[in-house]
Homo-oligomer: A and B are copies of this chain.
């Protein structure tokens, strides 16, 4: 089986930072990685065996890219699923499977899946028009989410009161009860082809108040053992019910009553697992490769407590990125900077991240504050 790692060509749809970190890991296994991305300046441009510029959403482009490869995976969900189904029918391994990607592409289908499978999630109503949303004023406060094409905070808005109803999406969307949560957490779970499943330690996410992006996270999460067990059990159940091979990030709310509710899932390496590169015995990127090549899954224990700070483009700056405070940041023990090779910064663009490993949790938090205040991406 191990021969396959050396001989099977892997194609990734998407050549952003997730693809780039996946390649950094794949080099250690001599995995031959081929990338498709619409942007000729994408972060993977110089580091793949081949880098093809083309749309991820066009049937022919995706099919042509995949037809000479052996395993096809993704680093973004917004891809042409029909082409992936055709490739799968022709005997290619497509992980996550096209059916899983299709389900996740539509938040309405995703929510219905949780409901059907008895996976705990916030109550919701499906709506097709703004009018339909307006009829549910008694369901507020709620989150209005576009069914398709939402990404990194786009296509998601909070409707707190009737005054907000005019903002409702005029498109197939869903209205989800606004959860008054105590914490947001995430569990990354992996499953290989032979069905082995392994979860990473639960992480605690802190979101940027404006950008609706993860601002920073801590691993392990500061939660009760019971919540920890529940979160891992839910993540395991989701990947099993999806019958999925690969890596799945499961974002969850913890309510004030310590209920755990699934918020969203992503079937690929994820922002909530970046810190595993330095902080865990196996990184999420290596685990993804192990899963899709049907290798034994790696141990996921934390080596040291850790934090991850997203490095977002500073508000008010657009242009060639300059990294302010980089030297002070890297002079700090346990700090690892990961820049993504993006030339142009703009407000809230994900330009990199910083992982901090530190045995002393109080000091870890101090270092998070230091990095957040010191390191800025300007232009």
Which residues of A come within 8 Å of B, CB atoms?
1-3, 5-6, 20, 23-24, 27-30, 46-49, 281, 290, 295-296, 298-299, 301, 303-304, 321-327, 330-331, 333-334, 336-341, 357
Query: Across the interface, do B339 and A29 meet the contact criterion of CB distance under 8 Å?
Result: yes
Residue in contact with A28 in the complex, picked from B30, B304, B339, CB distance below 8 Å: B339
Cα-based distance from A354 to B318 in the complex (angstroms): 43
Cα-based distance from A23 to B20 in the complex (angstroms): 12
Can you report 10 residue pairs joining A to B where beta carbons are below 8 Å apart? A2-B325, A6-B323, A28-B337, A281-B334, A290-B330, A295-B330, A296-B331, A299-B333, A303-B304, A303-B357
Query: Across the interface, do A295 and B327 meet the contact criterion of CB distance under 8 Å?
Result: yes
Oligomeric state, in copies: 2
Residue in contact with A24 in the complex, picked from B24, B299, B321, CB distance below 8 Å: B24
Cα-based distance from A304 to B2 in the complex (angstroms): 28
Cα-based distance from A167 to B49 in the complex (angstroms): 46
Min Cβ gap A356→B in Å is 11
Query: Across the interface, do A2 and B326 meet the contact criterion of CB distance under 8 Å?
Result: yes
A324 nearest CB neighbor, chain B only = B2
- Excluding A5-B326, A28-B336, A303-B304, 17 further A-B contacts by CB distance (< 8 Å) are A2-B323, A2-B324, A2-B326, A2-B327, A3-B323, A6-B323, A23-B47, A24-B27, A27-B341, A28-B339, A29-B337, A30-B339, A30-B340, A30-B341, A46-B48, A281-B334, A290-B330
Query: Across the interface, do A47 and B28 meet the contact criterion of CB distance under 8 Å?
Result: no
Min Cβ gap A336→B in Å is 7
Query: Across the interface, do B20 and A298 meet the contact criterion of CB distance under 8 Å?
Result: no
Query: Across the interface, do A322 and B6 meet the contact criterion of CB distance under 8 Å?
Result: yes
A33 nearest CB neighbor, chain B only = B46
A299 nearest CB neighbor, chain B only = B333
A323 nearest CB neighbor, chain B only = B2
> With a CB–CB cut-off of 8 A, which chain B residues contact A330?
290, 295-296, 298
Of residues A27, A281, A295, A304, which shows the largest number of chain B Cβ atoms within 10 Å of its Cβ? A27
Cα-based distance from A333 to B299 in the complex (angstroms): 6
A359 nearest CB neighbor, chain B only = B303
Cα-based distance from A227 to B30 in the complex (angstroms): 39
A351 nearest CB neighbor, chain B only = B30
Top 7 A-B residue pairs of the complex, sorted by shortest distance between their CB atoms? A2-B326, A296-B331, A299-B333, A30-B339, A28-B338, A47-B47, A2-B327
> With a CB–CB cut-off of 8 A, which chain B residues contact A28?
336-339
> With a CB–CB cut-off of 8 A, which chain B residues contact A23?
47
A1 nearest CB neighbor, chain B only = B327
> With a CB–CB cut-off of 8 A, which chain B residues contact A296?
327, 330-331
> With a CB–CB cut-off of 8 A, which chain B residues contact A30?
339-341
> With a CB–CB cut-off of 8 A, which chain B residues contact A298?
330
> With a CB–CB cut-off of 8 A, which chain B residues contact A20?
27
Query: Across the interface, do A281 and B27 meet the contact criterion of CB distance under 8 Å?
Result: no
